[in-house]
Amino acid sequence: MKHKLVCTIALVFLANTAHAQTYVVGVENLAFMPHYSTDKQGNYCGFAREVLDLFAATAGIQFDYRPLSGERLLAALLQGEVDFKYPDNPTWAQGQKAGKNLSYSQAVVNYVDGVLVPPMRQGQGVDKLQRLAIVNGWTPWAYQARVEAKHTQLIASDDLPAMIKLALRKDADGAYFNIVVASYYLDNIRAQPGALVFDPKLPFTRGTFNLSSSRHPQLIQRFDQFLIEQHEQIAKLKDKYQVEANLDSEFMGMEQWKVDALKRQKAKQTH
């Protein structure tokens, strides 16, 4: 069953909110649901917002979210203009971060970046992937050798909707993106569920979203403890937003309603 995630502001105040320390969290000004997004009023929302708000409430602090472009966000972190950056990962932008004393939290959420193709192209193999659509700023690490050898040509686009159009119009053989986010966009925004599907037989990359800081290593440690202590609550938020939907199963990248339908179909075939 499909559901629509609604951007909401879940500010949770303690009794001493007026005296709570406020920290600035630099976040991506990007439509990246169900992980995060910024609505028309400039409010940050989604799974990440709920997790970070929950931490602030338990720690007795306040977070002020500052949406920035991806390039500007990293600069703001390195220049000390924001207290924290989300998402981040120790493997990202290593050259720019060299010599900087950054602290990273444990993983907040897992993700998979991979290729979505029209259903009829699923399982054809990497040699058939001659034109790969990407969003500017994304690097398909698993395909770098093929790109350098000119076996795969990258076709850049400005954003996710433009990239999806390339694949749907067959101007590209596939589209490389976060598979949960791309599937959410197809199902809930474009309203074309199944028009493109993740191909697990093509190379893909696993990673994690982490919280980082150059100024507050103690709060990063406190956040790590929060991830342990609030594990059950965070798991409920992951389930609510489906941010890790079937990432470790044969149904990787599919929304739960699709998985349930396929399981019912398989059950009928075995009886």
User: Concatenated DSSP letters for 20-57?
Assistant: --EEEEEEE-S-BTTTBEE-TTS-EESHHHHHHHHHHH
Token code pair at residue 70: 């991806």
Residue 160 neighbours by CB under 8 Å, 6+ apart: 31, 135, 177, 181, 182, 185
What is the four-CA torsion angle of 115, 119, 121, 123, rounded to 10 degrees? 70
Neighbouring C-beta atoms of residue 101, cutoff 10 Å? 9
Residues written for the chain? 271
For residue 264, the model assigns a pLDDT of 66
Which residues have CB under 8 Å from 256's CB, separation 6+?
242, 245, 246
Q: 3-state class of 259 per DSSP?
A: helix
Q: Say what the pLDDT of residue 34 is.
A: 97
Does residue 164 contact residue 196 with C-beta atoms inside 8 Å? yes
The pLDDT of residue 70 is 87
Q: Which residues contact 234 (CB under 8 A, 6 or more apart)?
A: 51, 54, 108, 227
Domains of the chain: 17-110+206-241 (3.40.190.10), 113-205 (3.40.190.10)
pLDDT along the chain (271 residues), means of 10: 47 50 97 95 96 98 96 95 98 94 97 95 94 95 95 96 96 97 94 92 95 97 98 98 80 57 60 54
Q: What's the per-residue H, E or C state across 182-228?
A: HHHHHHHHCCCCCCCEECCCCCCEEEEEEEEECCCHHHHHHHHHHHH
